[in-house]
Amino acid sequence: MEREEVKAFNPYLEYVGEDLHLEGVSLEKLAREFGTPLYVYSASYIRDKIRAYKEAFPDALVCYAVKANFNPHVVAVASSEGAGADIVSGGELLCALKGGIPPERIVYAGVGKTIDEIKLAVEKEILMFNVESREELYVLNKVAGDLGKKARVAIRVNPDVDPKTHPYIATGMKKSKFGVDFETAKEEYKIADSLENLEVVGIHCHIGSQILDVSPYKEAVEKVVSLYKELREEGFNVRFIDIGGGLGIKYRPEDKEPSPKDLADQVLPILKDVEAKVILEPGRSIVGNAGVLLTEVQFVKDKGIKRFFIVDAGMNDLVRPAIYDAYHHIVPVKLNGSSYTVADVVGPICETGDFLAKDRRLREVSRGDILAVLSAGAYGMAMASHYNVRVRPAEVLVEKGNYKLIRKREGYEDLLRPFEGL
């Protein structure tokens, strides 16, 4: 069953004999060499996904959303395929630049940009700021003026469509903190236009994440295009339409993952008589199924009414199950023919919310076995923390039978470094 299943998540994931491989590299071997918990990403998968976006949207700029996975080596793979970057912080700007993405392909969203972050991005002369409030326009204008520069801006509008996803990652609805109201957006454009250190260049929207049914994009893009036409008629030189990211991925064996082409089929007909350059900001759909999290079974605990597989990856390593009640498929890295059982897969953290799977039908394991948590390439390591004073995992990139460590496992010295004076 696992044998057929895994390929549907990532075509480079396959059992060779009994051993699960990613792009021809044994995951058991990587776990033994680098220790666990360990994130492993497939570079070819990332390349294929960016190419699929570029094929579906031949004239668009694909800006990889760095927040999904900010490792500069991962960014470098995207960059080498010609991708730009969508960033939401100064730190992400530095990771994008380190990964080789030129500033003229970087767009910057975020509701709470600080002066220092804005300064850094103005100095680097990024493609555009996706501005989320009127106050931000004034601050950006001031910072740009102080630096003797002009900042290009798009205004993030809130098209008020329901992306039918988890409420924590629905971002385009009226009640959300993101963007400005669609109805009053023109006011913001007038203000932006009146500020001398700003140049109005685009419209931005991003309706949410993990969107499996692409139909809400149609409504959002229709609204954005109607605003674009009005703005053009009124003389605004808007020339970029940034439709954000959010395409969902397969987390469950039964999920059907929409392709970039499915998205294109929804929105390109609406954009076809529009001269603007289209920008896309995919994150999860580029890296999500590129990655797995390897974790070692520490203990198997039987409590009569429940069995627990206690593993060495906790909510500090992969927090999605704890905060979104997210499902991650889990398979053994070695198919040793053991029978199935039902168990919770839990981490070592002192929280009941610290689980990777609940009441899951899994093969029997014993202490020392390695499990692979699938679909862990996006919002996995990016959300890892030191909770319970644990070091964060290491990361490995594999490509065509080769592998390299792209992030060292932290040590206790890293955890203690910030505390001076004792």
Ligand X SMILES: *Cc1c(COP(=O)(O)O)cnc(C)c1O
Question: Quick one: 27 or 247, whose CB is closer to ligand X?
Answer: 247
Which of 6, 30, 88, 276 forms a contact with ligand X (CB under 6 A)?
88
Q: Which stretch binds ligand X (CB under 6 A): 38-46, 121-129, 242-250, 394-402?
A: 242-250
Taking CB under 6 A as the binding criterion, the range among 180-188, 241-249, 326-334, 348-356 that sits at the site for ligand X is 241-249
Within residues 97-116, the interface with ligand X by CB under 6 A covers: 109
- Judged by CB under 6 A, the residue of 72, 84, 258, 282 near ligand X is 282
φ and ψ of 375, to 5 deg: 55, 40
Per-residue contact flags (x/-) with ligand X for residues 302 to 341, judged by CB under 6 A: ----------------------------------------
**Using the rule CB under 6 A, is 281 a contact of ligand X?**
yes
Region from 61-69, 72-80, 134-142, 389-397 binding ligand X, contact rule CB under 6 A: 61-69
Out of 6, 20, 62, 68, the only residue in the binding site for ligand X (CB under 6 A) is 68
Catalytic residues: 350
Q: Which stretch binds ligand X (CB under 6 A): 14-22, 33-41, 281-289, 344-352?
A: 281-289
Residues 166-225 that bind ligand X (CB under 6 A): 206, 209
Residue 93 interacts with ligand X (CB under 6 A)? no
Establish if 117 lies at the interface with ligand X (CB under 6 A): no
Report how far residue 248's alpha carbon sits from residue 225's, in angstroms, rounded to the nearest whole number: 23
Length of the chain: 422
Rounded least distance, CB 275 to ligand X, Å: 23
Residue pointed to by tokens 């960016």:
50
* Min CB(340)–ligand X separation in Å: 33
Applying CB under 6 A, which of residues 23, 81, 86, 219 lies at the interface with ligand X?
86
Query: Closest distance between ligand X and the C-beta of residue 388, in Å?
Result: 27
198, 141 Cβ separation under 8 angstroms = yes
User: Of 113, 284, 329, 407, which one interacts with ligand X (CB under 6 A)?
Assistant: 284
Least separation in angstroms between residue 204's CB and ligand X is 7
CB of 308 to ligand X, least distance (A): 31
Residue 246 binds ligand X (CB under 6 A): yes
Q: Over the chain, what HEC string results?
A: CHHHHHHHHCCCEEEECCEEEECCEEHHHHHHHHCCCEEEEEHHHHHHHHHHHHHHCCCCEEEEEHHHCCCHHHHHHHHHCCCEEEECCHHHHHHHHHCCCCHHHEEECCCCCCHHHHHHHHHHCCCEEEECCHHHHHHHHHHHHHCCCCEEEEEEEECCCCCCCCHHHECCCCCCCCCEECCCHHHHHHHHHHCCCEEEEEEECCCECCECCCHHHHHHHHHHHHHHHHHHHCCCCCCEEECCCCECCCCCCCCCCCCHHHHHHHHHHHHCCCCCEEEECCCHHHHHHHEEEEEEEEEEEECCCCEEEEECCCCCCCCHHHHHCCCCCEEECECCCCCEEEEEEECCCCCCCCEEEEEEEEECCCCCCEEEECCCCCCCHHHCCCCCCCCCCEEEEEECCEEEEEECCCCHHHHHCCCCCC
Looking only at residues 12 through 31 of this chain, which bind ligand X when binding is defined by CB under 6 A?
none
State how far the Cα of 412 lies from the Cα of 169, in Å rounded to an integer.
33
In whole angstroms, what is the distance from residue 412 CA to residue 315 CA?
19
Question: To the nearest whole angstrom, how small is the minimum distance from the Cβ of residue 206 to ligand X?
Answer: 4
CB nearer to ligand X: give 163 or 393.
Answer: 163
Verify binding: residue 65, ligand X, rule CB under 6 A. Answer: yes
Applying CB under 6 A, the span of 30-38, 279-287, 298-306, 400-408 interacting with ligand X comes to 279-287
| Pair type for strands 151-158 and 402-407 | unpaired
Q: How many residues bind ligand X (CB under 6 A)?
A: 18
**Distance of closest approach, residue 4 Cβ to ligand X, in angstroms:** 27
Residues near ligand X (CB under 6 A): 65, 67-68, 86, 88, 109, 206, 209, 244-247, 281-285, 378
